[in-house]
Amino acid sequence: MNWLSDFGSFVAGRWEQLLFDSYLHVSAVVQCVVIATVVGMLIGVAVYRSPFGSAVATAVTSAILTIPSFALFGLLIPVLGLGVPPTVTVLVLYALLPIVRNTIVGLASVDSSITDAARGIGMSRFDVLTRVELRLAWPAVLTGIRVSTQMLMGILAIAAYAKGPGLGNQIITGLSRVGSANATNAAVAGTVAIVILALVLDAVYVLIGRLTTSRGIRV
Amino acid sequence: MSETNTAPKLGGESDRATSGVEIRLENVTKQYGGQRQPAVDSVTMTIPAGETVVFVGPSGCGKTTTMKMINRLIEPTSGRITVGGQDVLRLNPDELRRGIGYAIQQVGLLPHLTVGQNVGLVPGLIGWDRKRIADRTEEMLDLVGLDPTEYRDRFPKQLSGGQQQRVGVARALAADPPVLLMDEPFGAVDPITRGNLQDELLRLQEEMGKTIVFVTHDFDEAVKLGDRIAVLGSQSRILQYDTPEAILANPADETVAGFVGAGAALKQLTLRRVRDIELEQLPTATVGEEPAAFATRIGGRKGAVGLVLDDRGRPLRWVTRRDLDRGGGSLATAGRPVEDSVDRASTLQDALEALLTADAGYAVVTRSRGQYAGVVGLDSLMGTIRALREQYEDEDGAPDGRQGDGPSGSQGGGTGAAHG
């Protein structure tokens, strides 16, 4: 009880800072996810017709994901410096795998009779891709985006080591001063805030999914 | 072969409107890389404007490939294809396809669009305005028997297989293309629905007169729908290209005969309508008449029957002389009731069915309001089949002529001896 009221007063005292870090955190994640979505879908569209291309794209993005994020930041700091550039780079790279893979799977699983019919009635290749295939693959792509977002919420916390923005700063400040006053409070506040924001974002995705998926293909 | 054959279908629906155009294939070949034999080997045929031509053959024979080369979903390796005189290889493939209706077995409706949006796709692609598309969508759904107010805003998954296929046909026809390509469109629905869809296609085609290329492996379907059937062998080789009557009466070779299968004579009966043959007349009497007078008219010949009609001339009962001799008073109760009748649009197969179930040995033919028109007997049916057989046997290989005035050949093989 004592700790809880202590934590409560910590949060109350740093309310504005926490709110600002939360805003930066969500903002950074969302922007990186948008970039990763564009890049990932382009990669997916480019390779989905070729089994070889699909395998390579999936393997490369998987390989990226296996690099520990802490190490990747460390490797990129000498090249890109501190702050936003390495943060964005790392987040986008990590976000690629779920989006690329789900785009490929989603596009490849569109029933060939549907595309055959679409071609047969005179839709151009581009029409078929944009008006048929991507529409049908969209729920799968959106799932990929959702997974990426959740992942980035956690990974962005590490970015504080590279002077990146967001709630990671609370956590790292806390962890680097273990034992001193408010150290635990800061780390816990940052972590809890990330979890809450992740859940809120997930709810937003459910809403986006409902709004952007045709009733005809909703399961 | 008989590619220039322009004889109208026997029993001629000559007043049919024609909005279709001719399709010509000249030495069309498709060779896939890495295969020694071409998938389609030098096919040459002419599909006359406004006719339904059915490609029939075993699976893998290249019939679908041949069809898909017409709208360039598959590009021919060599040869020339013209649709309405235009060389398809010189056209933009997307624009070409917008001018050719396309319906396939899996239907391929876009699942994320409503029924209405699916039907309106091609008009949308060719730039019709919204109002015109909406009107046309409504018209097309009506045409294929789906109530627009009920079905327009549904999604494909909310429809049964047969309904989806109707939407598929509506979509294929929406922009009023002169040519329709159909790849086993009714292959995936249950037999009853398939029969209904076939009947509707026949009805639509009667009104529209499109040029239809229809692919199937079901010979009965080919007989039912085709003005002409192209029986294809491997590599899409044309084994026989002729009217269903001619193929049934005289298959070109063993393979075709095997494909025609058993019961060719019965299938021939499905091709002829009662109105195509001369009806026989039996003695008739109205219910009120004297039984004794009627008995005299029926006569004493063995097996002779008469028909009792009601006040409005509708067939009521079969009576034989013996029924009348037995007495018992009125014509209203003599003999046996007429249970089944056919009308003039029925097929001869229907007539045979009615004939076999009526123990009088005749099928009653009625006019539109059910009045007696005549009867069909076994002899007329056998005579019809014999005539068909002789007609096509005489021509052998040059099925060019129209049906003659009567059977001229004398070598009426097979079921030759008619009278029994």
**Domain of residue B190, CATH code:** 3.40.50.300
Decide if B277 is inside a domain.
yes
Residue finishing a domain among B263, B279, B294: B263
Task: Select from A111, A123, A214 the Cβ nearest to the Cβ of B112.
Answer: A214
Query: Which domains are delineated in chain A?
Result: 2-217 (1.10.3720.10)
**Identity at B103, one-letter amino acid code:** A
Chain B contact present for A124, CB below 8 A: yes
Residue B315 sits in a domain whose CATH number is 3.10.580.10
pLDDT of residue B87: 93
pLDDT greater than 80 at residue A128: yes
Residue finishing a domain among B206, B228, B263: B263
Nearest residue on chain B to A215, alpha-carbon basis: B112
Closest CA to B346 of B257, B416, B242, B276: B276
Q: Which of residues 89-118 of A touch B (CB under 8 A)?
A: 111, 113-118
User: Domains in chain B: how many in total?
Assistant: 2
**CB atoms A120 and B181 under 8 Å:** yes
Q: Which of residues 96-135 of B touch A (CB under 8 A)?
A: 96-99, 101-102, 104-114, 121-122, 125-126
Give the best residue of A111, A112, A119, A121 to mutate against chain B (max B CB count within 10 A). Answer: A121
Asked whether residue B235 falls in the same domain as residue B285, the answer is: no
Per the CB < 8 A criterion, the answer to whether A70 and A156 are in contact is no
Asked whether residue B259 falls in the same domain as residue B292, the answer is: no
Selected residue with higher pLDDT from B26 and A12: B26
Asked whether residue B38 falls in the same domain as residue B179, the answer is: yes
Asked whether residue B346 falls in the same domain as residue B373, the answer is: yes
Per the CB < 8 A criterion, the answer to whether B280 and B305 are in contact is no
- Domain ranges, residue B319: 264-420
Task: Select from A113, A136, A216 the Cβ nearest to the Cβ of B104.
Answer: A113
Sole residue written with tokens 């295939």: A133
**Identity at B302, one-letter amino acid code:** K
Residues in contact with B12: Cβ distance below 8 Å, sequence separation at least 6, in sequence order: none
Q: Which of residues 140-169 of B touch A (CB under 8 A)?
A: 155-157, 168
**CB atoms B73 and A117 under 8 Å:** no
Residue finishing a domain among B263, B279, B301: B263
Asked whether residue B217 falls in the same domain as residue B85, the answer is: yes
User: Chain A closest CA to B137's CA: distance in Å?
Assistant: 15
**CB atoms A121 and B171 under 8 Å:** yes
Nearest residue on chain B to A114, alpha-carbon basis: B108
Decide if B345 is inside a domain.
yes
pLDDT greater than 80 at residue A207: yes
DSSP assignment of B114-136 equals -HHHHHTHHHHHTT--HHHHHHH
Asked whether residue B171 falls in the same domain as residue B42, the answer is: yes
What span, in angstroms and rounded, lies between the C-alpha atoms of B227 and B55? 11
Decide if B150 is inside a domain.
yes
ipTM (interface predicted TM): 0.83
Task: Select from B95, B98, B102 the Cβ nearest to the Cβ of A117.
Answer: B102
Three-state secondary structure call for residue A208: helix
Q: Which residues of B touch A134 (CB under 8 A)?
A: none
DSSP B354: H
Q: Which residues of A touch B121 (CB under 8 A)?
A: 121, 123
**CB atoms B73 and A119 under 8 Å:** yes
Asked whether residue B283 falls in the same domain as residue B413, the answer is: yes
What span, in angstroms and rounded, lies between the C-alpha atoms of B167 and B140? 9
Chain B contact present for A14, CB below 8 A: no
User: Chain A closest CA to B69's CA: distance in Å?
Assistant: 11
pLDDT of residue B355: 87
Decide if B4 is inside a domain.
no
Bridge partners of residue B307, in order along the sequence? B284, B318
pLDDT greater than 90 at residue A168: no
**CB atoms A114 and B71 under 8 Å:** no
Asked whether residue B408 falls in the same domain as residue B353, the answer is: yes
What span, in angstroms and rounded, lies between the C-alpha atoms of B182 and B54? 9
Asked whether residue B328 falls in the same domain as residue B395, the answer is: yes
pLDDT in tens, A56-108: 999 999 999 898 988 888 888 888 888 888 899 999 999 999 999 999 999 99
Decide if B5 is inside a domain.
no
pLDDT of residue B408: 39
Structure token digits, residue B266: 């019965």
Chain B contact present for A127, CB below 8 A: yes
pLDDT of residue A17: 86
Three-state secondary structure call for residue B84: coil
**CB atoms B121 and A121 under 8 Å:** yes
Count of CB atoms situated within 10 Å of the CB of B35: 9
Three-state secondary structure call for residue B16: coil
Task: Select from A121, A127, A216 the Cβ nearest to the Cβ of B156.
Answer: A216
Across B246-396, where does the E strand assignment appear?
A: 284-286, 305-309, 315-320, 336-337, 341-343, 362-366, 372-377
Nearest residue on chain B to A137, alpha-carbon basis: B112
What span, in angstroms and rounded, lies between the C-alpha atoms of B72 and A119? 10
Decide if B7 is inside a domain.
no
Asked whether residue B84 falls in the same domain as residue B194, the answer is: yes
Q: List per-residue pLDDT tens for chain B, 420 residues long.
A: 433 433 333 333 445 567 889 999 999 999 998 888 899 999 999 999 999 999 998 888 899 999 999 999 999 999 999 999 999 999 999 999 999 999 999 888 999 999 999 999 999 999 999 999 999 999 999 988 899 999 999 999 999 988 999 999 999 999 999 999 999 999 888 888 888 889 889 988 988 899 999 999 888 899 989 999 999 998 899 999 999 988 988 888 888 888 887 777 788 888 888 888 888 888 888 888 888 888 888 887 777 888 888 888 889 888 888 888 776 677 878 888 888 888 888 888 888 888 888 777 888 998 878 889 999 988 888 888 888 778 777 554 444 433 334 333 333 333 333 343
The rounded radius of gyration (Å) of the Cα atoms in chain A is 21
User: Chain B closest CA to A119's CA: distance in Å?
Assistant: 7
The rounded radius of gyration (Å) of the Cα atoms in chain B is 25
Asked whether residue B145 falls in the same domain as residue B240, the answer is: yes
pLDDT in tens, A13-70: 888 888 898 999 999 999 999 999 999 999 999 999 999 999 999 999 999 989 898 8
Residues in contact with A183: Cβ distance below 8 Å, sequence separation at least 6, in sequence order: A173, A174, A175, A177
Per the CB < 8 A criterion, the answer to whether B37 and B60 are in contact is no
Decide if B11 is inside a domain.
no
Asked whether residue B46 falls in the same domain as residue B160, the answer is: yes
Nearest residue on chain A to B95, alpha-carbon basis: A122
pLDDT of residue A30: 95
Decide if B231 is inside a domain.
yes
Chain B contact present for A214, CB below 8 A: yes
User: Chain A closest CA to B99's CA: distance in Å?
Assistant: 8
Selected residue with higher pLDDT from B133 and A2: B133
Burial of B312 (0-12, 13-18, 19+ CB in 10 A): exposed
Strand order in the sheet with B40-47: B40-47, B23-30, B78-83, B86-87
